[in-house]
Structure 1
Amino acid sequence: MKVTEVPEISGAYLFEPTPHSDERGFFCRTFDVEVVRSVGLDPYAFVQDSVSRSARGVLRGMHLRSGAGEAKLVRCSYGRIFDVVVDLRPNSPTYLGRGFFELSDETQRTLYIPAGCAHGFQALTETADTSYRIDRPHDPAEDVTIAFDDPDLAIPWPLPPALMSARDREAPSLAEALKHVQGES
């Protein structure tokens, strides 16, 4: 498994497995304690796994958590997604940096997103299953949402949004969300 630092987001990593393919399909390791540990992350810190299924054009995000935040590993286990990370840690050398990634079932790449970063994605295939491994139990009271189309983020979503939750559609601007998040620090 190859690990690459994400230059736009300090502390973010892309884990790229080596799928072994044959006439049956493929097999690959998507999580390895030693590889995760090799970049200074605690592999045992992840306490919850979740999965979402989205149809083509569905947009989820931009989400983050207030308080201590939430680090996560994200992987598209089926289909393909356009994944976005925005660094919202005021003391980070990449503050307000943006990273764009394509995650898919073909590559099985996993993205590590540090706590304090906003995350969102858009499904690019008819069905896209996205897996999340997070380092703290989810607390809905800490959820913060930022407008997916905020001009300060200028995210180049590849498709027109087909469907969004009311929470995502009505999300406040980046400036408003930052006031909320930084007010709790």
Structure 2
Amino acid sequence: MKATEVPEITGAYLFEPTPHADERGFFCRTFDADVVRSVGIAPEAFSQDSLSRSAGGVLRGLHLRSGDGEAKLVRCSYGRIFDVVVDLRADSPTYRNRAFFELSDETQVTLYIPAGCAHGFQALTGTADVSYRIDRPHDPAEDVTIAFDDPELAIPWPLPVTSMSPRDRKASSLAAFLQHKES
């Protein structure tokens, strides 16, 4: 497994496994504590694993957590997704930068998203399963959502949105989020 820094988002990494494929399929390590530790991330800090399943065109996000934020490892374990990270850490040298990725079951690449960054994705295949590993227990009272179609972010979502949660539909603009955060 190799770790590659994401240049657009300070502190974000892609963890690329080495699949072993044969006529039966493949096997690969999707998490390696030593590799994670080698880039300064404490592997023991992760406390919850979750899984979402989405149909093609479904959009989830842009999500982040208030308070201490939430770092996460994200991997598309089945299907393909268009994944988005937005750096909203005011003290970051990559503040307000965006980064886009295609994550898929073919590569099993894991994306590390630092706390304070917004995250969202769109399912590109009929079914897409996304695995999350987060660094502190989820508290719904800290959930924050930013509009996926905010013109300031201009995210090039690849497909028409087929479905999204009511919370995501009612999300505030980036400007409203930043104004609330500063007050």
Map residues 19-168 of structure 1 onto 2, 5 A cutoff.
19-168=19-168
Which digits, 9 at most, give the CA deviation of each residue in 1:26-72, with x for residues without a partner? 00000001000000000000000000000000000000000100000
Q: Distance in 2 between matches of 1:178 and 1:27?
A: 43
Which digits, 9 at most, give the CA deviation of each residue in 1:1-27, with x for residues without a partner? 111100000000000001000000000
Counterpart residue type for residue 24 of structure 2: R
What runs of 5+ residues in structure 2 fail to find an aligned partner?
none
8 Å Cα contact 1:68-1:115 kept in structure 2: yes
Task: Give runs of ≥4 in structure 1 deviating > 3 Å.
Answer: none
Q: Distance in 1 between matches of 2:86 and 2:172?
A: 16
What runs of 5+ residues in structure 1 fail to find an aligned partner?
none
8 Å Cα contact 1:13-1:113 kept in structure 2: yes
Q: Distance in 1 between matches of 2:31 and 2:179?
A: 36
Counterpart residue type for residue 18 of structure 1: T
1:182 deviation in Å? Answer: 3.7
Counterpart residue type for residue 134 of structure 1: I
Q: Distance in 2 between matches of 1:176 and 1:116?
A: 16
State the TM-score, normalized to the length of structure 1: 0.98
Q: Secondary structure at 1:130's aligned position in 2?
A: strand
Q: Distance in 2 between matches of 1:35 and 1:133?
A: 16
What is the Cα-based RMSD across aligned positions, in Å?
0.7
8 Å Cα contact 1:46-1:136 kept in structure 2: yes
State the TM-score, normalized to the length of structure 2: 0.99
Q: How many residues align?
A: 183
1:177 deviation in Å? Answer: 1.4
8 Å Cα contact 1:67-1:181 kept in structure 2: no
1:74 deviation in Å? Answer: 0.1
1:179 deviation in Å? Answer: 2.4
Q: State the identity %.
A: 81
Counterpart residue type for residue 22 of structure 2: D
